[in-house]
Amino acid sequence: MSTTSSPRATATAGAEELAALRAAVRQVCSRFGHDYYLRTSAEGGNARELWTALGEIGALGVAIPEEHGGGGQGIEALAVVAEEVAACGSPLMLIALSPAVCATMLADHGSPAQQQEWLPGLADGSKVLAFAITEPDAGSNAHNISTRAVFEDGAWVLSGQKYYVSHVDNADAMVVIADAQGGPDQLPPGPKAFLVPTEVEGLSRSEIAVEIISPERQYSLFLDRVRVPADAIVGGERGLGVLFSGLNPERILSAALLNGISRYAVDKAVAYARDRVVWSEPIGAHQAIAHPLARAETRLTAARLLTLEAARAADRGETGGVAAAMAKLEASETASLALDAAMQTHGGNGMAREYGLATLSGLVRLFRIAPVSSEMLLNHIAHKALRLPRSYR
Ligand SMILES: Cc1cc2nc3c(=O)[nH]c(=O)nc-3n(C[C@H](O)[C@H](O)[C@H](O)COP(=O)(O)OP(=O)(O)OC[C@H]3O[C@@H](n4cnc5c(N)ncnc54)[C@H](O)[C@@H]3O)c2cc1C
């Protein structure tokens, strides 16, 4: 596993602190649950009530440094939050974006002024950042982005198109990845991160309809000479370093959300399998029902261990790319398997909205594609861990 240093080496929270955090998040989420998640998604809401409640107990800011209003506990603690939120039936994708990708980039690479402006609000949930990297012609290949930032008359001017930008309708600003060079610091060419307000001249968006039940909606963004100040760039010439400091936490947090979904599905299925009798025994006595659930529980245990390993590597200041890739790959496949087994256990009720399983199908399927696909994770593991040659440049 990779040991390259990143600027952040966060003190890992102790077991007692993490247990207390887990209990506090569970208590908050028990007031919401899957019915709330469905309702807020159906009504075009943004789960703001749950987000605010999590912010109030400091759960969204656990990985943000204490001097900026956070808990200073690291990615392992944020993964605990994500897993518990999802295990309660409200898997908020936004946790993998605003407090994970964006806050980590700013904490690791932001200027003091950017950190002061954004981190306290991200920590208490009063501010939200979206993240825009994907483009129609550059999905898995982020090196191929065509959005450009050109320095003109003392400002960066961004032009291009992004798509599948989650939750930008409810964000204060977003981190946009654009190719840039030059500027006051004579930057070399390559991808750089820019803070761009969501309400700014030249920026327009259109919603992409997707078959996923979630409070986060998806947008295409069109940047037509969007001007942002010279100091909107995050981390200056450390372009790729800035990007990667956010992408591993995104993978780890995605894995944690998926582990929470797997727990939710297995717990529901086990309860149902114990109760439901159609012959003389509860259906859980039939091995055809019990074994898929036992397999899901085993895979879930493995996925949680991989996620823990990846989170701890991140908190030790290592890039830990292989660990994060393995965690996200295993967690996404496990969640598919667990949800499927839970639906099968429920028979016809597996398809009923009331039982809250089929409602997660789109989301669980999504996570084998985004934020990074299983194929790209396998490419990374094959290349970095096994030293196999790459099939693409
Ligand atoms: C609901 C949703 C929310 C999203 N939220 C965000 C967001 O907030 N911000 C953001 O920037 N993006 C977001 N995305 C975009 C997401 O990250 C991309 O969809 C994902 O990275 C895949 O890119 P792509 O869709 O262009 O697929 P492509 O890159 O076109 O890939 C298509 C298929 O080809 C495979 N493939 C491509 N290259 C290779 C290769 N070298 N080897 C093997 N297989 C390969 C892929 O694995 C995939 O199966 C979101 C997407 C969705 C659907």
Kindly indicate the confidence band of residue 7, based on its pLDDT and cuts at 50, 70 and 90: low
Tokens of 348: 């016809």
Of 302, 321, 311, 180, nearest in space to 252 by CA = 311
Segment 41-45 shows an average pLDDT of 92
Instruction: Return the pLDDT at 58.
Output: 97
3 state SS of 370: coil
Bridge partners of residue 227, in order along the sequence: 157
Asked if residue 236 has pLDDT above 90, the reply is: no
Instruction: Name the β-bridge partners of 282.
Output: 277
Length of the chain in terms of residues written:
393
Does the structure show a pLDDT above 90 at 11? no
Mean per-residue pLDDT, 171-187? 95
210 lines ligand 1 (CB under 6 A): yes
**Token pair 């099968």 is at which residue?**
344
Cα of 370 from ligand 1 centre, angstroms: 6
Which residue has the least CA distance to atom 52 on ligand 1? 164
Pocket test for ligand 1, best of 105, 140, 196, 214 (most atoms within 8 A of CB): 140
What structural domains does the chain harbor?
15-128 (1.10.540.10), 132-239 (2.40.110.10), 240-385 (1.20.140.10)
127: amino acid identity, one letter: K
CB of 279 shorter than 6 A to ligand 1: no
Sorting pLDDT into bands at 50, 70 and 90, what band is 237?
A: confident
Give distance in angstroms: CA of 189 to centre of ligand 1.
24
Check whether 45 has a pLDDT greater than 90. no
**Ligand 1 site, residue 375, Cβ cutoff 6 A:** yes
- Residue 358's nearest CA partner among 349, 367, 368, 369 is 349
Counts of helices then strands in the chain (DSSP H, E): 11, 8
Question: Residue range 201-230: average pLDDT?
Answer: 98
Smallest CA separation from ligand 1 atom 35, residue: 375
**N- to C-terminal Cα separation, the chain:** 22
pLDDT at 8 over 60: no
> Measured in angstroms, how far is the CA atom of residue 367 from the centroid of ligand 1?
10
Tokens of 264: 């939710």
